[in-house]
Amino acid sequence: MKAYAAEFVGTFWLVLGGCGSAVLAAAFPELGIGFMGVALAFGLTVLTMAFAIGHISGCHLNPAVSFGLWAGGRFPAKKLAPYIIAQVLGGIVAGGVLYVIATGQAGFDVAASGFATNGYGEHSPGGYSMLAALVCEVVMTMMFIVVILGATDKRAPAGFAPIAIGLCLTLIHLISIPVTNTSVNPARSTGVALYVGDWALGQLWLFWLAPIVGALLGAVIYKFIGGNND
């Protein structure tokens, strides 16, 4: 139960910190943090939580990561469902907290703002197609899992995994925010889409399917290049 609670808290922090920076600070008049700031915020949530709860739950914070670690032989199948439930609930609660904060500003419109939701087509920040979004999310998640499995390999330098993983997530956001607003995490996508509803829920399927497929591919790749000495 402590591990599940840790996943809840960690995912809560990821969604509140990452999506919160996008909703509240990205375009703040004159002093907005922009894409780079939002990308760094997501990376910092993972970095800080990895040090805080990595020794408790492994700090997955992401259903795709849990699937990837399972496929990579690092995580038991029996824990997949409880971990994913805890992660999704953490994301939803964080979305609720962010909703309360954001709507405290006069005139704030959740639907009009986008509320840091992920989307494709007309709901992509750069107008990218569904195919482009699908490919982007699969490939970004695939590389994220390769980095996670590699950085946490027993042969890797000890103690540096949180830094590599946090910076990898930052880089992923720097690449893909214009395409999909960057998901690579179904819990993160669900946590804010529920408060937007409508099109956000209609497109949510892609941000579950693509990250999980990418995670499984990443696990296959790392098992091949990492060999049997993992």
Which of these, 152, 149, 146, 119, lies nearest to 133 by C-alpha position? 119
The residue extents of the domains of the chain are 1-226
177 within 8 A of 137, measured Cβ to Cβ = no
Percent of the chain with pLDDT over 90: 83
| pTM of the complete model | 0.92
Q: Do 128 and 210 form a contact (C-beta atoms < 8 A)? A: no
What local confidence, expressed as pLDDT, does residue 228 receive? 62
Provide the pLDDT for residue 230.
Answer: 43
DSSP state of 155: T
Q: Which two tokens stand for residue 185?
A: 């995490």
CATH of domain 1-226: 1.20.1080.10
**Residue 176, helix vs strand vs coil:** helix
- What is the pLDDT, as a whole number, of residue 226? 87
Distance, CA of 150 to CA of 223 (rounded, Å) = 10
* The pLDDT value given to residue 101: 93
At residue 126, the 3 state secondary structure works out as coil
Please choose, from the candidates 89, 189, 81, the residue with its C-alpha nearest in 3D space to the C-alpha of residue 133: 189
Residue 227, pLDDT above cutoff 80: no
CA distance linking residue 37 with residue 35, whole number of Å: 5
Average pLDDT, the chain: 93
Over residues 75-116, the pLDDT tens digits come to 999 999 999 999 999 999 999 999 999 998 888 888 888 899
Token pair listed for 52: 């805080």
Predicted pLDDT at 203: 96
